[in-house]
Amino acid sequence: GILQHPDGTVLKQLQPPPRGPREQEFYNKVYDSDCCDSILLELREYLPKYFGVWSPPTAPNDTYLKLEDVTRKFNKPCIMDVKIGQKSYDPYASAEKIQQQVSKYPLMEEIGFLVLGMRVYHVSSDSYETQNQHYGRSLTKETVKDGISKFFHNGYCLRKDAIAASIQKIEKILQWFEGQEQLNFYASSLLFVYEGSCQATTTVRLSDVTLAEKRGVPKGLLSGGDILEYNNNIHVINSTGNGKIEASVSKGLSKFYALHKKAYSKRHHSQLSLKVENLEQDNVWKSSTCVAQERLNGNVIPQLEKVFCHVPAEIKESANVEVRMIDFAHVFPSNTKDEGYIYGLKNLITVLQNILDN
């Protein structure tokens, strides 16, 4: 498996020949300091960074590829590995090897990709759901859309922002493949990573929120009796004449979830502050009012999820998503486009777009 180095990189043990040396040669070629091939230089953008090989002092004959940890910057990384292409065997595979690979997933040629596994963070339970390669191989043409949408569902809602950002990144990789005819990739994967903490990092209009005092209900209640909790991460910036508010949510919201989730397990109520800034003249709140130490019901996180997860994708900032190409033990020189990989990318984009549209 993948090991972690204390310096924050990951270590992938070199496979037996010819696969391991072939993968090492691929990385060496792409990351050669003297490389001036524009195709390979652009390819670097879509791979984990490569830091050469490494061997442990206690086992100098064991060789590892030293690679960037693509998940390192994420708080709650959701990870999916998808093998791309119509063939998972290379041109030099024996008849026995071909039959073995085809039998593992006969639909590979028609679908163009295979989900090898996923790990999804569920906000509601503060836990991960994991699916292995058997899950991916159970998917059919009819169920593959629902099977992949599972990766983007956090237990409360579908993360459309992460899907949209993933499509954009796959499209860039597709453009690279459409413009190169020197490498063909077999049994190679795309690694998807997105932030599982339901972060809202942009200014959002809460169009259905009415000021609590307007309706004569306790402070902290939303229209319909929903409860919204504020701390230093959330500030009311504006109160319009019709009672609508805008809220600005800082990047610390993910930590807010983690911290307050733990707090609720210890107590039912929470005391938090609501900071009101620059309000228009209103007969409910005055400009400098600060509602401090407001005691609210603890059933808050689901309500925040309702508000922030259903914000239209077009008004969100680009989601925190990575899509990188990995696994290069079967990369070969070529003089034609990699039509099998291109087919898989296009079909995957279509499936993701269908999830987004529906």
Which pLDDT belongs to residue 317?
A: 46
Cα distance between the two ends of the chain:
37
Where would I find the H helices in 112-223?
133-137, 144-149, 160-178
pLDDT-derived band at 287 (thresholds 50, 70, 90) equals very low
**pLDDT exceeds 80 at position 128:** yes
All structural domains of the chain, each given as residue ranges with its CATH number in brackets, are 1-69 (no CATH), 70-198+318-357 (3.30.470.160)
Q: Which two tokens stand for residue 247?
A: 């809220």
Q: Which of 53-57, 237-241, 306-310 is predicted least confidently?
A: 237-241
Give the pLDDT confidence of 139-156 residue by residue, as tens digits: 999 999 999 999 999 999
Give the pLDDT confidence of 336-346 residue by residue, as tens digits: 999 999 999 99
Give mean pLDDT, residues 200-212: 36
Which pLDDT belongs to residue 89?
A: 96
For residue 119, give the H/E element and its range.
strand 113-122
**pLDDT exceeds 70 at position 23:** yes
Q: Residue 87: what residue type?
A: K
Cα distance between residue 330 and residue 89, in whole Å: 8
Over the Cα atoms of the chain, what is R_g? Answer: 25
* Owner of token pair 């065997």: 89
**pLDDT exceeds 90 at position 319:** no
What residues are paired with 70 via a beta bridge?
Answer: none
Which of the two residues, 206 and 111, has the higher pLDDT score?
A: 111
Kindly state the percentage of the chain with pLDDT values over 70. 66
Give the pLDDT confidence of 84-101 residue by residue, as tens digits: 999 999 999 999 999 999
**pLDDT exceeds 60 at position 322:** yes
Which pLDDT belongs to residue 1?
A: 77
Q: Which of 13-17, 36-40, 305-309, 351-355 is predicted least confidently?
A: 305-309
Give mean pLDDT, residues 18-37: 98
**pLDDT exceeds 60 at position 273:** no
Residue 307: which of 162, 190, 198 has the closest Cα? 198
Cα distance between residue 304 and residue 198, in whole Å: 9
Which pLDDT belongs to residue 309?
A: 53
Give the pLDDT confidence of 325-334 residue by residue, as tens digits: 999 999 999 9
Which pLDDT belongs to residue 144?
A: 98
pLDDT-derived band at 358 (thresholds 50, 70, 90) equals confident
pLDDT-derived band at 199 (thresholds 50, 70, 90) equals low
Q: Are 55 and 14 in contact (CB under 8 A)?
A: no
Output the average pLDDT for the chain: 77
Give mean pLDDT, residues 33-38: 98
Q: Are 306 and 207 in contact (CB under 8 A)?
A: no
Which pLDDT belongs to residue 318?
A: 55
Q: Are 41 and 94 in contact (CB under 8 A)?
A: no
Give the pLDDT confidence of 211-268 residue by residue, as tens digits: 333 333 343 434 343 333 333 333 333 334 444 433 333 344 444 334 444 443 443 4
